[in-house]
Amino acid sequence: MLDRAIFALPGVRRVLALLASASALQALCIVGQAWFLATALANLWHGAPIPDQTAWIALFFACFVARQGAVYAEDAYLETYAYDRADELRQELLRKVFTTKAQVVWDNGTGSVAAAMLEGVDQVQAYFRLILPKITSIVVIPLIVLAFALALDWVSALIMFIMFPFIVLYMIILGRNAKDAASRQYRTFQVLSNHFIDTLRGIDTLKLFGAGKRHGASIFSVSERFREATMKTLRMATLSSLVLDLFSTLSIAAVAFMLGMRLLDGTAQLFPALAILIMAPEYFKPIRSFASDYHASLDGVNALKSIQRLIGAPDGSDHSCELPDWGATSRMELRGVGCSYDSHRVLENLDFTAEGFRKYGIVGASGAGKSTLVSLLGGFLAPDAGDIELGNTPLPDFKQDGWQRQIVYIPQDPYLFHATLRDNIAFYRPDASDEEVARAIDVVGLDDLVAELPCGLDTLVGEGARALSGGQAQRIALARAFLDNSRRILLFDEPTAHLDIETEMELKERMLPLMEGRLVFFATHRLHWLDDMDEVIVLDDGRIAEHGPLAELEANGGALGRLAAQTAWETT
Ligand SMILES: Nc1ncnc2c1ncn2[C@@H]1O[C@H](COP(=O)(O)OP(=O)(O)OP(=O)(O)O)[C@@H](O)[C@H]1O
């Protein structure tokens, strides 16, 4: 139930000190309540008049009110503290997703990361709120109550003292099993989350191929596994708290029985007996409430572990390298660079140099590693072998802020945010003026689209709004690149793969001028682009098969020639 990470939370020592004070105040109020009520009852038993007991009863109520006040203040303070810590975790996780360029999402699954960020953080918040007061109350309250019980009647105090470790021991044994069950439950929850997101994303494909029913059965079986794991954990949690309740009730009964016997044979007095009888349930209460919240806390522990694992995932570099702006004389060199997905080696021993504002075409058969190379150059992936040098600066990878603020990445399916067309175009330059946006629209040929949209540039596009065609999305991506003239490195990953040849040719005319004065890497299956590239890199199974100007490679009749001869190769 208790994760050591909780002691590393910012300001936790101060919080624990405050909570310990609140627990001490509650314990003193418990003792006060027992003491004053027992005094009043014992006096009445000995025949004192009722009005004479008013002061004791008033003191009893004063203790009651003070105790409730302490609980309320404790809850209110913890609510804010837990909220702030949970908010920080969420921010940190978000930062991690952005700084690792979503690698953490790739590695763990969208559903799992989204579940950690939403439900997981809420569970952690509930966990902080539950666990922190319990840490202090389980130590402070029994100690203070026991000290007063000892002063009143050492026999009862001894019974209370002996029973306590038994309950703790039993709780530890049960806790171990419950912890394993809760970890299994959390893992099935992550699988369910990934499955759910995956289904939502693939819903069109499922419908299209009439596989909805079959997939429904798979959703059912994943949900069933989660239900079974949840029920098992709940069963264990309910049973363990029932048994613990039984233990503590038996302990109270033992104290009451011994007191009753000693009252009967006259070896105990009424006042201490009554006071101890009132205090005994309160002595065991913190450990009972610890047990009853055990299950909810385990959810929080698992969520906290999962979030910390995500936050602690390596991101390959410190991103802090200051890099000069790319210019006509800039140079970068890759030597023996390799890259893997898990243990699957995808790029191997890459050696090449890129200079100034040259244009490099990247070609290769499907699966040769073109997209992986573009991802590597964009800093979305880190190499696991070789050296990279930018000018004279060695870099561990391209995940550098100084590099990334210089690139424009244009993939096959550019992502359109759920925002206005204007905001989507001004993605890299939110401060762009209307004139600049209008010029970018004109250059990439988006005028017709803007004219037909109901609210023009202010029309919402992207998911859940006006859908756009692949060609229109590509034009928006190009407009983004055109608008930010300061970004001198263009990375294209098969940007025209989904477009018909007419649209591609029209876009090509608009794209070529955009490439002037920029370093360009252009991964493509379409040979005609190579005529406009300064050099061609031919990839074959993750290695550079050949590299050089197009005319040279054509004259060699090597890897490029073989690639061109393949039937799937488009030579249009
Ligand atoms: N995220 C990933 N995790 C694991 N393996 C991957 C991942 N992305 C790509 N791969 C694998 O890496 C290899 C190279 O893929 P890549 O997408 O770079 O090739 P490509 O040349 O761009 O292919 P295509 O022309 O079909 O897009 C393939 O074997 C692919 O299965």
Ligand 1 centroid, distance to 346 Cα (angstroms): 7
Per-residue pLDDT tens digits for 36-47? 999 999 999 988
Atom of ligand 1 nearest to the CA of 523: 22
Average of pLDDT values for 302-313?
A: 82
Kindly indicate the confidence band of residue 392, based on its pLDDT and cuts at 50, 70 and 90: confident
The protein residue with its alpha carbon nearest to ligand 1, atom 2, reads 341
Separation between Cα atoms, residue 324 and residue 15, nearest integer Å:
46
Separation of CA 567 and ligand 1 centre (Å): 21
Nearest atom in ligand 1 to the alpha carbon of residue 373 is 18
DSSP three-state, residue 227: helix
Domains identified in the chain and CATH numbers: 4-312 (1.20.1560.10), 327-396+517-572 (3.40.50.300)
Of 107, 110, 346, the one to substitute when testing ligand 1's pocket (max ligand atoms within 8 A of C-beta) is: 346
Sign of the CA dihedral 58, 60, 64, 69? Answer: positive
Pick the residue whose CA is nearest to atom 17 on ligand 1: 371
- 277, 263 Cβ separation under 8 angstroms: no
Q: Which residue has the higher pLDDT, 75 or 313?
A: 75
HSE at residue 47, side-chain half, CA atoms within 13 A, is: 0
Answer yes or no: pTM beyond 0.90: no
Query: Number of C-alpha atoms within 13 angstroms, CB side, residue 533?
Result: 29
In the chain, how long is the greatest CA-to-CA distance? 119
Distance CA 427, CA 436 (A): 13
Round to whole Å and give the CA distance between 280 and 268.
Answer: 16
Coil, helix or strand for 99?
helix
Checking if the pLDDT of 532 tops 90, the result is: yes
Provide the pLDDT for residue 320. Answer: 61
CB 190 within 8 A of CB 306: yes
Cβ of 568 less than 6 Å from ligand 1: no
Higher pLDDT, 3 or 352: 352
- What's the pLDDT at 40? 94
How far away, in angstroms, is 376 Cα from ligand 1 center?
A: 12
Whether ligand 1 lies within 6 angstroms of the CB of 570 is answered as no
Residue of minimum CA distance from atom 24 in ligand 1: 366
332, burial (CB in 10 Å: exposed 0-12, middle 13-18, buried 19+): buried
Q: Is the pLDDT of residue 221 over 60?
A: yes
370-384, pLDDT tens digit by residue? 999 999 998 888 898
Interval 433-465: pLDDT, tens? 988 898 888 888 888 888 988 888 899 887 766
Say what the ipTM of the complex is: 0.96
Q: Does pLDDT of 143 surpass 50?
A: yes
Q: Locate tokens 């011994």: which residue?
A: 258
Minimum CA distance residue for ligand 1 atom 9: 372
Question: If residue 213 lies in a helix (H) or strand (E), which one and from where to where?
Answer: helix 212-264
With a cut of 50, say whether residue 569 has pLDDT above it: no
pLDDT in tens, 249-294: 888 999 999 999 988 988 888 999 999 999 999 999 998 888 777 7
Counting ligand 1 atoms within 8 A of each CB, the residue from 372, 375, 527 with the most, and so the one to mutate, is: 372
* DSSP 8-state assignment for residue 141: H
* Ligand 1 near 241 CB (within 6 A): no
**364: Cβ below 6 Å to ligand 1?**
yes
pLDDT at residue 539 in the model: 93
The rounded mean pLDDT for the chain is 86
394 in Cβ contact with 388 (< 8 Å):
yes
Pair type for strands 535-540 and 460-461: unpaired
pLDDT at 570: 46
Q: Evaluate: CB of 367 within 6 angstroms of ligand 1.
A: yes
Residue-wise pLDDT for 164-174, tens only, equals 888 888 777 77
